[in-house]
């Protein structure tokens, strides 16, 4: 009987040790990327970062807010990375938001945006609100 108890105890301790050694997924976080440039290197970097952030933890919340010249990434017929954007918007917890003020200023209609890209009334206001809610902030500049 004592031998059986000792064996069970060893198995439990070994199981606890192995569980402690297993890699732990980091706690999910939320990040907003601020994209205001039509520079392909910056746009490519944002798309790469989305993949990297999502690969660390698929539950991470990622939002890309575009205003100024950043809109070029998500306008049909203008974006040179449209397929990459479509792939990114297909991920759970990833969103692309375009400033409606920038749309008006650049005379771009919402219907010209790539699928699954939505708008916000004010891109800067969206970023400020995300920061108030505790989101991390990254200005998208790769160089």
| Domain definitions of the chain by residue range | 26-139
48-57 pLDDT tens trace: 999 999 999 9
DSSP label of 10: H
Cα separation, 21 vs 46, in Å, equals 33
pLDDT tens for residues 105-134?
Answer: 999 999 999 999 999 999 999 999 999 999
Question: Is CATH 1.10.10.10 the classification given to domain 26-139?
Answer: no
Contact criterion met (CB below 8 Å) for 98 and 119: yes
Burial of residue 11 (CB within 10 Å: 0-12, 13-18, 19+) is exposed
pTM metric for this prediction? 0.82
């Amino acid at each position: 009987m004592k031998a059986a108890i000792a064996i069970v105890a060893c198995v439990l301790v070994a199981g606890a040790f192995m569980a402690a050694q297993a890699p732990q997924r980091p706690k999910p976080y939320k990040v907003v990327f601020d994209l205001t440039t039509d520079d392909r290197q910056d746009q490519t970097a944002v798309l790469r970062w989305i993949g990297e952030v999502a690969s660390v933890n698929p539950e991470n919340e990622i939002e890309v807010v575009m205003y100024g010249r950043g809109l070029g990434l998500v306008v049909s017929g203008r974006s040179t990375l449209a397929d990459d954007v479509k792939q990114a918007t297909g991920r759970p917890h990833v969103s692309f938001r375009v400033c409606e003020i920038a749309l008006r200023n650049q005379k771009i209609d919402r219907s010209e945006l790539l699928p699954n890209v939505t708008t916000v009334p004010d891109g800067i206001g969206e970023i400020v609100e995300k920061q108030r809610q505790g989101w991390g902030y990254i200005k998208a500049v790769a160089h």
